[in-house]
Amino acid sequence: MVQTDIDNTITVTITAANCDGNVTSNPTETATKATQTAPAAPTLNSSTSTSIILNSVADCEYRKDSENWQTSTTFSGLEPNTFYSFTQRKTETEMHLASPESQAVALKTDDESGINENLFGSIIIYPNPTDGVLRIECGDLKIESVEIYDILGKICLFSQSCETR
C-alpha cells in the first residue's frame, strides 16, 4: 500500500499469458492509515529550575500536562521546584495515525538553589539484602559520601571513599 491508496478502495486485476481474458477482485474496504502502539513513558535528559529536557525518541512528539503536542524535547518557562506531567506519542505520518500517548511521567524542576531531585531517580542500589558488597549505580553522578541507616534511623555505615568502576 502507498499513501495514494489511503481513503480509497483497491481492486486487483490479473491477466495471465497462457489464458484468455482476466480476473478482477472485488473492491477492498476503504484503505485507512495504520495504527501505531504507544511508546514507553518519556525519560529525563536534564533539568534546571525553569526547564526540563526529555530524551529524544525517533518519530515522537511530546506534551507537558494537557498542552499542545510539540516536536521539541525542551520545555522552558517552568516554575522552580514544581512537578509537571510529561507524555510522548509517535507522530502521525502519511501512512500511520499518531499513536496513543505513553504513560505519563512526573518530573520536577530544580529548586532555585540548583539541587536536581530528578537525578536521584537514576540511582540504583543492589542487592537487597546484601552479602556484604553493596553496589550503587549512579550514572553520571559523582558520589562524595554514602550513609546507610537501619530501620530505626541508626547509622550503619558512613563512607567518604568509594570504589568506582
DSSP assignments along 33-92, one per residue: PBP-PPPPPP-EEEE-SSEEEEPP-TTEEEEETTS--BS-SEEESPPTT-EEEEEEEEPP
Q: What gap in Å lies between CA 99 and CA 35, rounded to an integer?
A: 7
- Same domain, yes or no, for 23 and 78? no
Confidence of residue 19 (pLDDT cuts 50, 70, 90): confident
Share of the chain above pLDDT 90, in %: 42
- 103-129: per-residue pLDDT in tens? 999 999 988 765 555 556 667 777 777
Would the pTM count as exceeding 0.85? Answer: no
- Same domain, yes or no, for 143 and 100? no
- Same domain, yes or no, for 109 and 131? no
Q: Is position 144 within any domain?
A: yes
Q: Is position 56 within any domain?
A: yes
Q: What gap in Å lies between CA 108 and CA 48, rounded to an integer?
A: 9
Q: Which of 61-65, 86-90, 126-130 has the lowest mean pLDDT?
A: 126-130
- CA 150 vs. chain centroid, Å, equals 35
- Same domain, yes or no, for 103 and 130? no
Q: Is position 19 within any domain?
A: yes
Cell numbers 516536536 correspond to what residue?
71
Domain range spanning residue 21?
1-32
Q: Is position 148 within any domain?
A: yes
- 23-55: per-residue pLDDT in tens? 888 888 877 788 999 999 999 999 999 999 999
Residue 108, phi then psi, degrees to nearest 5: -115, 135
pLDDT at 43: 94
The stretch 2-6 carries a mean pLDDT of 74
- Same domain, yes or no, for 61 and 115? yes
Q: For residue 60, list its beta bridge partners.
A: 90
pLDDT at 64: 96
